[in-house]
Chain A
């Protein structure tokens, strides 16, 4: 795919596309796909946590608090990936790492101590209720962040 990022037409155009590229590095091209899946998970996890906490919080406070936490991390990752830029890049790395740690820790815990998780969270059983996407997503996210960082370094 030809990309108009060689600044042959003059300084302003080159500067503009250059700036655009830095700003939206993680959220453009294939990154769109990642942001879209993250957005759907932010929506799904957020809605689930809202319903659980609103209607039956006392049944499983630990699981439902974790649902809310997971939802918050997804929202954070979605926004950070979509925005791009230096600060967002760090936020996205942190969010994806927390997510990976969360899905591994909660996945293991939910299998070891089922009584603490009478109702499922997004991360229970390594995200089996969601086709294991919660397990794959942070890994893909981190790989994508690494790739955009390399590309930015190579380009800049």
Chain B
């Protein structure tokens, strides 16, 4: 994993969560800014997946990479699922789901960093 990319992902994910929280508290449904944010997040995650696999094949990273690969691919689903959900539920609760999605991505990246460095 690269620290720069991981940090960028965490920042973007938390920004999305924060923005969606404000939207939810104002009682609004998800809007275009949320979608753009999720798009950027998904691109960053895709980049991370590519970098991750390249580094893994270069003999870096955890000794048993199965769990790490699970996270690497699993996290890709979350922005997509969040966007789909936010588009389906046109109430404040659609925005609230994005808060969960943003925090979940941030937590997963932190966990992936631990797996990568073997500290957990």
Q: Which residues of A contact B (CB under 8 A)?
A: 1, 28-33, 36-37, 39-40, 43-44, 47-48, 50-51, 54-55
Contact = CB atoms under 8 A, between A and B. Distances in A.
Given A1-B91, A55-B64, A55-B66, A36 B74 contact: no
A36 B103 CA distance: 12
Contacts of A44: 74
Interface in B85-120: 85, 89, 91-94, 96-97, 100-101, 104
A40 B104 contact: yes
A36 B99 CA distance: 10
B58 interface: no
B91 A29 contact: yes
Nearest to A40: B104
Contacts of B11: none
Interface in B62-94: 64, 66-67, 70-71, 74, 77-78, 81-82, 85, 89, 91-94
A32 B93 contact: yes
- Nearest first, the 10 closest Cβ-Cβ pairs linking A and B are A47-B70, A32-B93, A36-B97, A51-B66, A36-B100, A33-B96, A51-B67, A32-B89, A40-B104, A29-B93
